Amino acid sequence: MNKAEYHKIISKNPMTQKDVDKLMGILTNSFKIPKPEADFPQSLKWGDTPNITIDKAAHCFCTICDLSGECENKPCTDLEQFIYLLNQLLTMKGKAIYQPVGKAAEYAQWACNFYTGCSNDCTYCYCKRGVMAHTWSDTPKLKACFKNEEHALEVFEKELKANLQELQKHGLFFTFTSDPLLPETRNLTYKAVSFCIKNYVPVKLLTKRADWLEKVVWSPDCASFPINTHIDFGFTLTGHDELEPNASTNAERIEAMRKLHEAGFKTWASIEPIIDVNDSLRMISKTARLKICDLYKIGLESGKKYNKTLLNNFIKTTIYEINYYGNNAKIYFKDSLLSQAGINREDLPVNCVTRDYNMFN
C-alpha cells in the first residue's frame, strides 16, 4: 500500500472491516513485525482494543514514513500516530474509554475521548499534523460513534463499569483529542466526571482553559463524595499565548491553578511542548515559587531538534528551582527529553518520578 492509498483509507468515516484489515496489513507487512513475537491479535473486529507493542527497530521498514529508513534510533512520530489512530478507529464503534499507546501512554494508562477537534487552535497542535489531520477541525465534534451526548454518556457509563477496578487503580485521563473544558465540551465532561467520582474513579483533567472555574457544575449527587481527592487538574503552560490563540492566557491558567490548589485539589503542570527553554523555565519558576503545583510533566515538541547542552542545563535548573522553591513537587521528564539531553533517568534525584507515578496514592 502506498501513502496515497493509506490516506484515502484513514480519511473514511466510518471505515469498513475491510479497511481495518488493510491497515492491519500495514502493521504486519510494512513494519515487518514477526507475528508470533509481536503481541498482535490474529484477528480484529470493530470494538476490539488491541494492545499493540512494536519494537522500535521495526521503524525503517515503514512505508508511510518519509524518512525512508533513516529513522532508526529516532522517535517515529508517524508510527506512534498511526498506532494511536488505529486504536481510535478500532474503538470507534461505541467506545469512549481506551488504553493509549505510544507517546500518549506516557500521560495516562486509561483515557477518554468524546470529541475530536479543538477551538483553542494551538499552532503546534499534534492533532493537526500527520494522520490525524484528515479528521481535525477547530470546532470540536462528538466522535462519529456517538449519536448525541446522552448516547456518549450511556456508552461511557457502561465502559466505566466494565473496567471499574483498573480505573479505580490508575484513574482516567481527559482528553487527547480536544480540550475537556471548552465551552463546547465541558457539559459532557462534567457529567462523565461526576459519574467517575460516584464510582471512586480518580480523574485527571488537562486543559488550557480557565474560564470554566467559576461555573463548574458537578452533578448535585456528588456532594457527599470526596471530590477534591478524586480530581486532579493539569494546565498546559508553554509561556506562548500567541501560539494558543483561543485558549486562556498562561497567566490565567496559573491563576486557576492557584485557586484550585488552595481549594485542596491536586494540580499539575504540563510543560509541553517546550517552545523555548527560557519560557518553559519561567512557567516552572513561577508556579514553583507560588507553591501551587504538585507535579510537573515536561516534554519536547514532537519532531523538533534541540541543543543538547541547552536541554541539559534546562533539566538541572528545573530540578534546582522545583526542589528549592516547589514544596516537594514531583517531576516527570519524558523519555525523549532525557534522551536528547543525554541524561539517564537513574541519575535523577528521587522526586523525579517515572511515568507510573500516581498522584492519588
Is 184 an interacting residue with respect to ligand SF4 (CB under 6 A)?
no
Distance of CA 18 to the CA centre of its chain: 29
Only segment of 18-26, 114-122, 159-167, 312-320 that touches ligand SF4 (CB under 6 A): 114-122
Any contact of residue 286 with ligand SF4 (CB under 6 A)?
Answer: no
CA–CA gap between residue 132 and residue 137 (Å, rounded)? 10
- Cα atoms in the 13 Å half-sphere on the side-chain side of 351: 16
What is the amino acid identity at position 272?
E
Part in contact with ligand SF4 (CB under 6 A); list of ranges 53-61, 97-105, 118-126, 188-196: 118-126
| Least distance to ligand SF4, CB of residue 301, Å | 11
121 binds ligand SF4 (CB under 6 A): yes
Give the Å distances, CA to CA, from 249 to 6, 232, 255, 272, 330: 38, 20, 10, 15, 24
- Would you give the distance in Å from CA 295 to the centre of its chain? 15
Question: Which H or E element spans position 332?
Answer: strand 330-333
With binding defined as CB under 6 A, does residue 1 bind ligand SF4? no
CB of 300 to ligand SF4, least distance (A): 14
CA–CA separation, 73 vs 57, rounded Å?
7
Tell whether residue 210 is a contact of ligand SF4 (CB under 6 A). no
Among 78, 80, 179, 321, binds ligand SF4 (CB under 6 A): 179
Q: Are 104 and 84 in contact (CB under 8 A)?
A: yes
Q: Is 275 in the site for ligand SF4 (CB under 6 A)?
A: no
| Binder of ligand SF4 out of 122, 172, 284, 315 (CB under 6 A) | 122
Q: Of 119-127, 188-196, 321-329, 330-338, which part binds ligand SF4 (CB under 6 A)?
A: 119-127
Eight-class DSSP state of 90: H
The count of residues interacting with ligand SF4 (CB under 6 A) is: 9
- Between the CA of residue 325 and those of 132, 174, 190, what are the distances in Å? 40, 29, 34
> Considering beta carbons, is residue 106 or 121 the nearer one to ligand SF4?
121
Are the C-beta atoms of residues 254 and 295 closer than 8 Å to each other? no
CB of 113 to ligand SF4, least distance (A): 10
Taking phi over 0 as left and psi of -120 to 50 as alpha, with beta for the rest, 347 belongs to alpha
Confirm or reject binding of residue 118 to ligand SF4 (CB under 6 A): yes
184: cell is 463546547
- 125 contributes a contact to ligand SF4 by CB under 6 A: yes
Binding residues for ligand SF4 (CB under 6 A): 118, 120-122, 125, 127, 178-179, 208
